[in-house]
Amino acid sequence: MRDLFLHTSAHWGRYSEYVWRTAPDGNCYLLPAEKAKPSVYDPMKDPNTLVFDAIEIGMMQFQKEPEAKLKQAILAFAGKYGLLGIMTALPTTAEFITYEKVYLPKNPFLRKETMETQEYLRLFFPFIRPDFHKKGVESVWQTGDKYEIAFAMTFQADPQAKAMSFMRNYGERYDWLCKLFKDWAFHVLTTKFYLEDRNREDPDVLSLYQRGISAFEGIAPTYHIELRGKPTLVWDFHSLLLDIRFLLSVMLTDEQNPLKLCKKCHKPFIAPNPAEEYCSEACKDATKK
């Protein structure tokens, strides 16, 4: 990883187990399991594995894997990394709770440009609403069990919505999760096709790839300066979603060690040099035979 991201405040929460549940609105949601234990970790400790795991779930959709298998893979991902934090990542600011309304830039899920905060929260608390009250820009929120309080304490310097996304009743929609994972894999595939075809004379195809990759936008992480012995640039990721998206962008544009898909097993890997096509000696040997 480039030195630029040496300092981040990217800590994220997860529960030991998640479950799929169908809500009264008919949508399937991923939520923490009833007895699951919480923990906090640093997603930047092993960014490569995190991004690879996310891409593989997206690739499963291109390979038309059955829904049961896909759901199992997303469950395993959540048990390892937690939910994506979509609630915090979608609005124009992670501090949306402190505004009168929620403001939404263009996104694949919600067409409205503004939403009432309570209405927006309902999209992520499909079974039991959080004990949250709002009047103008002021809001009051009651935490529930000891784990929720622990998360609120851990992330008290962060936007309030971040701690709220570790509440037991916070869930993320199956179709939204699928779409995000699929988009990430799409960008890896588009980059791969572009690099393979860029020397061929077919401007229409190339421009198709270029348009595909330019659709990869969204809210950027923020940053601030901290005095840690010296002035230090610290990046703020208030959701795992932004974390993955940003890491993926950095990895795809790395000229020395780009993220690639292995020519043999199709798994993502970080190339030791820009020309490397296989993830391992085993894959290279298997091709020779």
Residues that bind Zn ion (CB under 5 A): 262, 264-265, 279, 283
Exposure pattern of 232-271 as b/e (b: 16+ CB <10 Å)?
A: eebbbbbbbbbbbbbbbebbbeeeeebbbbbebeeebbbb
Minimum CB distance to Zn ion smaller for 208 or for 265: 265
| Token couple for 37 | 């234990």
Closer of 42 and 196 to Zn ion (Cβ): 196
Least distance CB 185 / Zn ion (angstroms): 16
Contact 174/72 with Cβ under 8 angstroms?
no
Closer Cβ to Zn ion, 11 or 264, answer by number: 264
- Smallest gap, in angstroms, from Cβ of residue 261 to Zn ion? 9
CB of 268 to Zn ion, least distance (A): 9
CA distances from 289 to 262, 268, 278, 286 (A): 17, 22, 15, 6
SS (H, E, C) 62-79: HCCCCHHHHHHHHHHHHH
Q: Which is nearer to Zn ion, 122 or 267 (CB)?
A: 267
Residues 6+ apart with CB under 8 A from 168: 31, 32, 144, 145, 147, 148
**Which residue, 158 or 276, is less far from Zn ion as judged by CB?**
276
Closest separation in Å from C-beta 206 to Zn ion: 27
Nearer to Zn ion, 89 or 262 (CB): 262
Q: How many CB atoms lie within 10 A of CB 61?
A: 17
Other CB atoms within a 10 A radius of the CB of residue 150 amount to 17
Task: Give the CA distances from residue 14 to residues 47, 82, 110, 166, 194, in Å, rounded to whole numbers and listed in that order.
Answer: 16, 4, 25, 7, 36
Tokens found for residue 172? 């993320």
* Whole-number Å distance between alpha carbons of 135 and 283: 60
Between 187 and 260, name the residue whose CB sits nearer to Zn ion: 260
Would you say 38 and 14 are in contact if contact means Cβ atoms under 8 Å apart? Answer: yes
- Least separation in angstroms between residue 189's CB and Zn ion is 16
In angstroms, the CA 96 to CA 38 distance is 25
CB of 161 to Zn ion, least distance (A): 39
> In 70-93, which positions are buried (b, 16+ CB within 10 angstroms) versus exposed (e)?
bbebbbebbbebbbbbbbbbbbeb
Compute the least distance from the CB of residue 106 to Zn ion, in Å.
Answer: 36
The CB-of-264 to Zn ion minimum distance in angstroms stands at: 5
> Is the CB of 17 or the CB of 276 nearer to Zn ion?
276
